[in-house]
């Protein structure tokens, strides 16, 4: 069968007997994604919306001249921009009076042709020669008066002449379906519209930040939050559109290195009061990790030079010597006293090493962190909460900020580029009509009977006050263990057990009022000792005759030993666990107990809710009760940006019951550092198919595969490789060829939808304060010109502005219509086991995300982390061989332990 939209003469992917990829056609780039199957969905009531897309009209006959720029010696992007501006100001005639746009690297775009195809310029700037090439003593002697102009050679060469005809054809409804997106022209326009904001603000990735948009706000730990905006050009059904959104991110605070370390690291809070303290080996590693790759400047003399921190010296400052230009050894402390009359205060601390290879040292107390550096480390929970609060704008506020960016002095239309390149950028958000899908009927339990419920509240939440979960479990054998806690907190345990059992009973879940053994009270220190923790948990399992169903753990506070606890319980002991914190036990609200009960029920094999009308009855054209369908979700989680070594973790989940389709089991693997393609996908899918066959007694007729975390630039590669892996897994079974739909799910995008109501007193606006209601779907105007994608906001946003989820179908052998797929995804969002409301993205993807995070926990305290911590910071070694994850215990392999 040829998937919808694929021409018969295009060779589709072929598979060898061994399941390996043989060929992907003569025109692989053309065969990337499924075409939109129809003119869009029809179901649901209509709603008027605004989207933060601004139409960009371009003159397709306007040529853009693309020049390659080479600057030697190679400068930073900031310096390169200064060079470009000086070059343009001084050479107007040679550049034909153009004001070209520059990306700070190699690409320069001009609306007119320069006088020659090859040009060479020499530009001098008041930047000192790199001091790292000078003898060490002389480096410190270079004061402002000795700084000299630095000469840069700039070579400019014409690469190509491009126009917008291909982009016009691509955007045209009548155009050839197989015209590839003209990336070169789109990139040129992107650079053009970014030129003015970049000159005035701080660019970070595709976003631009400015203190003029509300100043900076301290978020703790040596970091500040700064507001800005994101901008990106997108091909859409209405034409080329500029997507602009409000953005907030964390930067390093521009303060002295010593006060920075005080704020960043708990153990250095009292540093100024203890100037003679030194660092232990572990503390030194933490300091080095905190300062690595940060740029600093010195405050003991005037200079514009900036230095990058590569690491710390092994020796303390008082023990450091260096050779001067005559080869004579000088003591660092004596040098600063003699040359600058400065007595180094923190002589027991190491110095900053500011060269990758040579010994070049700067005392910490004389260094200040440069402004405008993105905070790359992992934000703490408190920092994250403060950043989220800064970025948490209600719809009307967010819309006002975006409108101000489009009309303001630092936005994409603030310069002359729009006029220079004959562009017309709308200042008005795009108006469109969306649809609100109807909520599905749900199935709950009621004393062994089925109860029907329609979520009719405006936020689509429902409660279980007078109903049971759809499938409650029976937990006979369980144990409670406590770590830390005050005597008063511990005294709440009997009341907690009693009320949790009672709440479970109200929900149709049986939790034995008597634990296998009396509650165990341990010190928090046990969580620091892996071997002791494991022996205690195994002892409990033996006390339950190796038949323990549940372990409830109560902790005094969040603790890094949580990762060890989960790993030991799920891989070594073989029991699901539920953790909670003592502060939550002081209130014991009905909501807290209900949430705990739902999670416990799901983990031990129950489920909260099911769809009243089964999927075959809702989509009869595709789904049959006796032809099972498997829903799969996949995600890859990567280590944080400063971690150069830890493996990435891939997780795949699959539904194991049909037609209910609300129980998912997982497979988790570690893989190469920052590898986005799931390397072991064929084996993982194969194992899930085996499990499905054991449960349902048949293999799935259709596989609906939802893939999270893929950017648009990776669509083709992910589809090409992962679709082959899925087919490879299927080929293990004789003559088994299920129909596969492969869709990418994106939450990390910047499209926002706003209710557009002329009557602000309407009931809807009273409820939503401008936010869109659950079930809002958009598949026109702002979606792809030809490909099968849609935005669905399936949840109600209590804070900030709703972010719809973007679903992009890359491959569709099931030939869904727009209505069928949108309805399917929305209905599935009501079946998530942890809550009584629809969630923001389709559950298989959410489960895959939770499973991948659990795999990350397993690795967090393992040897690979130790390897990362112990590696020298002066050179970036290749990632080590990926350590495999510990194997899950057979007891919990088929349970939703990761919930």
The answer to whether the peptide bond before residue 659 is cis (omega within 30 degrees of 0) is yes
Q: Compute the distance between CA of residue 148 and CA of residue 847 in angstroms, rounded to an integer.
A: 60
Count helices and strands (H / E) in the chain.
Answer: 23, 42
pLDDT of amino acid 719: 95
Please state the length of the chain: 899
The average pLDDT across 301-321 equals 90
- Two tokens at 548? 């323990």
Q: Is the pLDDT of residue 446 over 50?
A: yes
Alpha helices, DSSP H, located in 731-834: 763-768, 818-828
* Banded pLDDT at 175 (limits 50, 70, 90): low
pLDDT of amino acid 33: 80
Q: Compute the distance between CA of residue 226 and CA of residue 252 in angstroms, rounded to an integer.
A: 10
Q: Compute the distance between CA of residue 179 and CA of residue 200 in angstroms, rounded to an integer.
A: 37
| Pairwise pLDDT comparison (882 vs 372), residue with the higher score | 372
DSSP at 441? P
* Banded pLDDT at 324 (limits 50, 70, 90): confident
* Banded pLDDT at 12 (limits 50, 70, 90): very low
* Banded pLDDT at 880 (limits 50, 70, 90): low
Listed in sequence order, the residues at least 6 apart from 291 whose beta carbon sits closer than 8 Å to its beta carbon are: 257, 261, 309, 312, 352
Q: Compute the distance between CA of residue 334 and CA of residue 338 in angstroms, rounded to an integer.
A: 6
Q: Compute the distance between CA of residue 676 and CA of residue 775 in angstroms, rounded to an integer.
A: 31
Q: Are 627 and 702 in contact (CB under 8 A)?
A: yes
Secondary structure of residue 214 in the 3-state scheme:
coil
DSSP for 406-425 reads HHSSSSTTSSSHHHHTTEEE
Q: Compute the distance between CA of residue 460 and CA of residue 439 in angstroms, rounded to an integer.
A: 8
> Each residue of 181-238: pLDDT tens digit?
999 999 999 999 999 999 999 999 999 999 888 889 999 999 999 999 999 999 999 9
Q: Is the pLDDT of residue 381 over 70?
A: yes
> Each residue of 593-639: pLDDT tens digit?
999 999 999 999 999 999 999 999 999 999 999 999 999 999 999 99
Q: Compute the distance between CA of residue 336 and CA of residue 333 in angstroms, rounded to an integer.
A: 5
- Two tokens at 700? 């799935």
The average pLDDT across 296-306 equals 85
Q: Is the pLDDT of residue 856 over 80?
A: yes
pLDDT of amino acid 127: 63
> Each residue of 92-138: pLDDT tens digit?
999 999 999 999 999 999 999 999 999 999 999 886 543 333 334 44
What is each CA distance from 340 to 335, 825, 842, in whole angstroms?
A: 8, 69, 64
Q: Is the pLDDT of residue 767 over 70?
A: no
The answer to whether the peptide bond before residue 73 is cis (omega within 30 degrees of 0) is yes
> Each residue of 713-727: pLDDT tens digit?
999 999 999 999 999
Listed in sequence order, the residues at least 6 apart from 532 whose beta carbon sits closer than 8 Å to its beta carbon are: 526
Q: What proportion of the chain, given as a percentage, has pLDDT over 70?
A: 90
DSSP for 486-508 reads -HHHHTTHHHHHHHHHHHHHHTT
Dihedral in degrees, nearest 10, Cα atoms 283, 288, 294, 298: 80
What is each CA distance from 97 to 80, 93, 341, 797, in whole angstroms?
A: 20, 6, 53, 51
Q: Are 794 and 840 in contact (CB under 8 A)?
A: yes
DSSP for 3-40 reads PTT--TTSPPPEE-TTS-EEE--S-TTTTSSPBP-SS-
Alpha helices, DSSP H, located in 201-278: 257-264
pLDDT of amino acid 307: 92
DSSP for 732-751 reads TSTT---EEEEEEEE-S---
pTM beyond 0.75: yes
Q: Compute the distance between CA of residue 317 and CA of residue 325 in angstroms, rounded to an integer.
A: 20
> Each residue of 257-294: pLDDT tens digit?
999 999 999 999 998 888 889 999 999 999 999 999 99
HEC readout, 117-182? CEEEEEEEECCCCCHHHCCHHHHHHCCHHHCCCEEEEEEEEEEEEECCHHHHHHHCCCCCCCCCCC
Q: What proportion of the chain, given as a percentage, has pLDDT over 90?
A: 80
pLDDT of amino acid 878: 58
Q: What is the mean pLDDT of the chain?
A: 89
- Bridging pattern class, strands 430-436 and 45-51: antiparallel
pLDDT of amino acid 862: 59
Cα first-last separation, the chain: 38
Q: Is the pLDDT of residue 545 over 90?
A: yes
* Phi–psi pair at 524, nearest 5 degrees: -60, -25
Angle (deg, nearest 10), helices 863-870 and 843-860: 60
* Banded pLDDT at 147 (limits 50, 70, 90): low
pLDDT of amino acid 328: 86
Q: Are 162 and 67 in contact (CB under 8 A)?
A: no
Dihedral in degrees, nearest 10, Cα atoms 351, 355, 357, 361: -30
The average pLDDT across 549-558 equals 96
| Pairwise pLDDT comparison (326 vs 15), residue with the higher score | 326
The average pLDDT across 387-402 equals 94
pLDDT of amino acid 25: 34
DSSP for 629-673 reads EEEEEEEEE---TT-SSPPEEEEEEEE-STTT---EEEEEEEEST
Dihedral in degrees, nearest 10, Cα atoms 414, 416, 420, 421: -20
């Amino acid at each position: 069968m040829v998937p919808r939209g694929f021409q018969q003469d295009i060779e589709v992917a072929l598979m060898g007997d061994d399941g390996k990829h043989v060929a992907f056609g003569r025109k692989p780039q053309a065969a990337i994604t499924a075409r939109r199957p129809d003119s869009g969905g029809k179901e649901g009531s209509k709603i008027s919306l605004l989207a933060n897309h601004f139409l960009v009209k371009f003159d397709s006959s306007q040529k853009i001249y693309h020049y390659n720029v080479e600057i030697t010696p190679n400068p930073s992007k900031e310096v390169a921009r200064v060079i470009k501006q000086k070059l343009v100001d001084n050479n107007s005639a040679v550049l034909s009076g153009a004001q070209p746009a520059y990306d700070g690297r190699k690409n320069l775009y001009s609306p007119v042709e320069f006088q020659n195809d090859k040009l060479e310029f020499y530009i001098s700037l008041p930047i000192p020669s790199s001091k790292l090439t000078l003898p060490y003593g002389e480096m410190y002697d270079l004061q402002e008066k000795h700084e000299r102009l630095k000469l840069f050679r700039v070579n400019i060469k014409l690469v190509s002449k491009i126009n917008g005809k291909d982009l016009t054809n691509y955007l045209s409804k009548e155009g050839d379906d197989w015209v590839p997106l003209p990336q070169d022209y789109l990139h040129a326009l992107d650079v053009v519209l970014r030129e003015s904001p970049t000159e005035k603000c701080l660019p970070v990735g595709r976003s631009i930040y400015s203190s003029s948009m509300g100043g900076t706000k301290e978020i703790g730990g040596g970091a500040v939050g700064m507001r800005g905006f994101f901008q990106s050009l997108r091909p859409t059904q209405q034409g080329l559109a500029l997507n602009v959104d409000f953005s907030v991110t964390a930067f390093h605070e521009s303060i002295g290195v010593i006060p920075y370390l005080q704020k960043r690291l708990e153990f250095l809070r009292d540093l100024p009061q203890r100037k003679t303290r030194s660092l232990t080996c572990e503390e030194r590693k933490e300091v080095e990790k905190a300062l690595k790759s940060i740029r600093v400047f010195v405050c003991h003399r005037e200079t514009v030079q900036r230095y990058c921190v590569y690491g710390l010296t092994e020796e303390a400052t008082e023990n450091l010597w260096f050779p001067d230009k005559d080869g004579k050894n000088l003591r660092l402390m004596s040098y600063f006293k003699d040359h600058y009359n400065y007595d180094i205060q923190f002589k027991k601390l190491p110095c900053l090493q500011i060269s990758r290879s040579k010994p070049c040292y700067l005392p910490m107390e004389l260094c200040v962190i440069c402004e405008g550096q993105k905070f790359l480390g992992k934000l703490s929970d408190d920092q994250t909460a403060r950043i989220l609060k800064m970025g948490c704008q209600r719809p009307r506020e967010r819309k006002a900020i975006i409108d101000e960016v489009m009309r303001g002095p630092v936005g994409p239309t603030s310069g002359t580029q729009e006029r220079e390149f004959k562009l017309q950028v709308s200042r008005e958000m795009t108006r469109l009509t969306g649809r609100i899908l109807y909520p599905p009927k749900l199935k709950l339990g009621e004393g062994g009977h089925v109860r029907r419920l329609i979520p009719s509240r405006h936020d689509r939440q429902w409660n279980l006050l007078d109903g049971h979960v759809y499938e409650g479990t029976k937990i006979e054998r369980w144990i409670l263990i406590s770590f830390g806690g005050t005597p008063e907190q511990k005294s709440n345990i009997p009341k907690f057990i009693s009320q949790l059992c009672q709440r479970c009973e109200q929900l149709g879940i049986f939790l034995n009022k008597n634990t296998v053994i009396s509650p165990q009270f341990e010190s928090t220190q046990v969580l620091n000792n892996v071997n002791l923790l494991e022996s205690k948990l195994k002892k409990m399992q033996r006390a339950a005759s190796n038949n323990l169903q549940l372990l409830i753990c109560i902790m005094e506070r969040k603790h890094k030993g949580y990762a060890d606890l989960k790993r030991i319980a799920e891989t070594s002991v073989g029991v699901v666990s539920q953790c909670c914190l003592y502060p939550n036990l002081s209130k014991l609200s009905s909501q807290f107990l209900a949430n705990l009960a739902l999670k416990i029920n799901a983990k031990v094999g129950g489920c909260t809710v099911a769809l009243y009308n089964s999927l075959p009855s809702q989509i009869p054209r595709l789904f049959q009760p006796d032809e099972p369908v498997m829903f799969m979700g996949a995600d890859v989680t990567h280590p944080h940006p400063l971690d150069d070594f830890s493996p990435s973790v891939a997780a795949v989940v699959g539904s194991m019951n049909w037609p209910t389709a609300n129980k998912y089991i997982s497979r988790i693997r570690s893989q190469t550092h920052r590898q986005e393609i799931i390397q072991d996908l064929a084996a993982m899918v194969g194992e899930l198919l085996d499990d499905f066959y054991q449960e349902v007694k048949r293999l799935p007729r259709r596989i609906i595969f939802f893939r999270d975390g893929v950017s648009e630039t990776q669509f083709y590669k992910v589809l090409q490789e992962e679709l082959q892996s899925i087919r490879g897994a299927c080929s293990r079974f004789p003559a088994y060829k299920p129909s596969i739909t492969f869709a990418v799910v994106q939450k990390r995008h910047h499209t926002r939808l706003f209710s557009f109501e002329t009557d602000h007193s309407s009931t809807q606006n009273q409820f939503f304060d401008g936010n869109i209601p659950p079930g809002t779907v958009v598949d026109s105007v702002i979606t792809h010109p030809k490909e099968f994608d849609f935005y669905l906001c399936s949840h109600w946003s209590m804070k900030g502005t709703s972010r719809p989820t973007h679903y992009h179908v890359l491959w569709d052998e099931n030939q869904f219509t727009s209505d069928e797929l949108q309805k399917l995804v929305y209905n599935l969002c009501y079946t998530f086991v942890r809550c009584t409301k629809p969630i923001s993205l389709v559950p298989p993807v959410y489960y895959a995300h939770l499973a991948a995070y659990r795999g990350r926990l397993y690795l967090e305290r393992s040897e690979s982390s130790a390897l990362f911590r112990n590696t020298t910071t002066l050179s970036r070694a290749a990632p080590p061989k990926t350590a495999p994850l510990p194997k899950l215990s057979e007891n919990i392999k088929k349970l939703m332990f990761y919930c």
